[in-house]
Structure 1
Amino acid sequence: MALFDEKANTYDDFCLTPIGTFVDRIERDMMAAIARPVRGEKAIDLGCGTGTYAYWLRDMGLSVVGVDLSQDMLEVARGKRKNEVTFQKADLAHLPFGDNTFDLAICNVVLEFIDEPATVLREGFRVLKPGGRLIVGCINKYGAWGKKYTRRGQEDPMSIYSHAQFLSYEDILKIGPNKPTDVRFGLFVEPEEFRDFEIAIQLEQTHRQRQDNIGGYFVIRFEK
């Protein structure tokens, strides 16, 4: 967590770049399609970081709790708006909430940085109400983006990716709380292919039709 504390003030910078805007758009659209948030639901963002997805859910009319172990990340999240989302410091492997509390739990690009991802998934599932959904988004270790971030982590010990262990869809199947009800792959545009946001969006659709492209990101839905 110390590394994330150090990166808290610059963590959102990537999403402000053209390529970061593209990645965020693809991942968020996929998350929305799989999670299908409903106004009035109670949601928890597991590993909320600087609150990007927590506020996204809040803007859709959900009541949201964001949980993270990095105090500095949470301070950045709290500073973005006032009293719209409840942010709480907690260990994702030991959530301070009772069973059957939330309608929706999201965990986006978090398991890659967790020592016990299976435990985190079980905890996220535990706090869901019957019929609730646990939505997990991961950088695919077999995709170009996962390989790029792996190299970055190997080359730069100060990169957050130096501690990442990227996962595949098959890895999540082995540790998931039950059989997933939906999965979606995306981010088929590789980092070196990016030239422009609009062109990348079009290229993403073209690549999606091909069978030989490995998505750089995937989202899985588990239902309780």
Structure 2
Amino acid sequence: MAEIFDKKAQDYDEWYRTPKGRLVDRIEKEAIYEYLHPRAGMEILDIGCGTGNFSLELARRGARVTGIDVSEPMLQRAREKAAREGVSIRFLRSDARRLPFPDESFDAVVSVTALEFVPDLRAALQEAYRVLRAGGRLVVGVIGGRSAWSRYYEAKAAREPDSLFRWARFPTLEELLAAMPGKEVRGTAVLFIPPDFDFTKEEEALALEEEARRAGRTDGGFICAVSFK
């Protein structure tokens, strides 16, 4: 699995420079921060941190961040970005299923678009919960199953033998909520804009997003859940 992500490290960040990538990233971050509430001094573990997209932003907000990922090339890109910005983040190579930390090590654990690539979602969530301190929160965001986006990635995997999405399993919001350990579990779905939309039309895209949310839809391309310990 690590080798699949190793090959993507060099050009992974290019996605965030496109109109689609910028808006999707904005929508996903808004959903995550609605549950995470990062603050200065908070110790946060970022599982599946990749090239550091969330880790760096959390560090900018004053959090003390540890990022883990299975791909060393991804982590190296993250370290380079952190060094350029002058922010201190601990990046470690580790499997989400076997975290190298004692019980109750972090105030919060976050994982964004990573755990859909882990064979046993429930086991990975239990491991994340293990390293969470009492009173802390676990916040998880993944590509939502039975959505326009999951169908898009499934089609991509069928066409491209080397697609990393061949190894992905996309849970529905209901399935993610059922797998979350802890108490006060709740979740939300966002990213109802279809992947083939013209993302240069940002106002139209956001209007579609708002309409879907008002309708109470749960089949968003990005689903997010929180639980507490």
- TM-score (norm: length of structure 2): 0.92
Offset of 1:198 from its aligned partner? Answer: 3.0
For 1:218, what is the secondary structure of its paired residue? strand
Offset of 1:170 from its aligned partner? Answer: 2.3
- Residue in structure 2 matched with residue 203 of structure 1 by the alignment: 208
Distance 1:118 1:211, change over 3 A: closer
- Residue in structure 2 matched with residue 100 of structure 1 by the alignment: 104
- Residue in structure 1 matched with residue 9 of structure 2 by the alignment: 8
- Structure 2 residue 47 is matched with structure 1 residue 46: yes
Q: Which whole-Å CA distance do the structure 2 matches of 1:177 and 1:43 have between them?
A: 18
Deviates more, 1:209-218 or 1:67-76: 209-218
Q: How does 1:13-32 map to 2 (within 5 A)?
A: 13-32=14-33
- Structure 2 residue 130 is matched with structure 1 residue 126: yes
For 2:129, what is the secondary structure of its paired residue? helix
Q: How does 1:161-172 map to 2 (within 5 A)?
A: 161-172=165-176
Aligned AA (2:130): R
- Residue in structure 1 matched with residue 67 of structure 2 by the alignment: 66
Q: Which whole-Å CA distance do the structure 1 matches of 2:217 and 2:144 have between them?
A: 15
User: Paired residue for 2:152, among 143, 148, 172?
Assistant: 148
Checking the alignment, whether the CA contact within 8 Å between 1:19 and 1:197 is kept in structure 2 is no
- Residue in structure 2 matched with residue 183 of structure 1 by the alignment: 187
Distance 1:98 1:23, change over 3 A: same
For 1:12, what is the secondary structure of its paired residue? helix
Percentage of matched positions with identical amino acids: 35
Aligned AA (2:145): K
Q: Which whole-Å CA distance do the structure 1 matches of 2:69 and 2:216 have between them?
A: 37
- Structure 2 residue 118 is matched with structure 1 residue 114: yes
Structure 1 runs, 4 residues or longer, greater than 4 Å off: none
Q: How does 1:80-95 map to 2 (within 5 A)?
A: 80-82=81-83, 84-95=88-99
Offset of 1:175 from its aligned partner? Answer: 2.5
Q: Which whole-Å CA distance do the structure 2 matches of 1:212 and 1:88 have between them?
A: 37
User: Paired residue for 1:223, among 210, 219, 228?
Assistant: 228
- Residue in structure 2 matched with residue 192 of structure 1 by the alignment: 196
For 1:115, what is the secondary structure of its paired residue? coil
For 1:44, what is the secondary structure of its paired residue? strand
User: How many positions carry a matched residue from both structures?
Assistant: 224
Q: Which whole-Å CA distance do the structure 1 matches of 2:64 and 2:14 have between them?
A: 26
Checking the alignment, whether the CA contact within 8 Å between 2:157 and 2:166 is kept in structure 1 is yes
Offset of 1:190 from its aligned partner? Answer: 1.1
- Structure 2 residue 164 is matched with structure 1 residue 160: yes
Offset of 1:180 from its aligned partner? Answer: 4.6
Checking the alignment, whether the CA contact within 8 Å between 1:121 and 1:176 is kept in structure 2 is yes
- Structure 2 residue 215 is matched with structure 1 residue 214: no
Distance 1:63 1:103, change over 3 A: same
Q: Which whole-Å CA distance do the structure 1 matches of 2:51 and 2:29 have between them?
A: 15
Offset of 1:174 from its aligned partner? Answer: 3.4
- Residue in structure 2 matched with residue 136 of structure 1 by the alignment: 140
Structure 2: gaps spanning 5 or more residues? none
- Residue in structure 1 matched with residue 178 of structure 2 by the alignment: 174
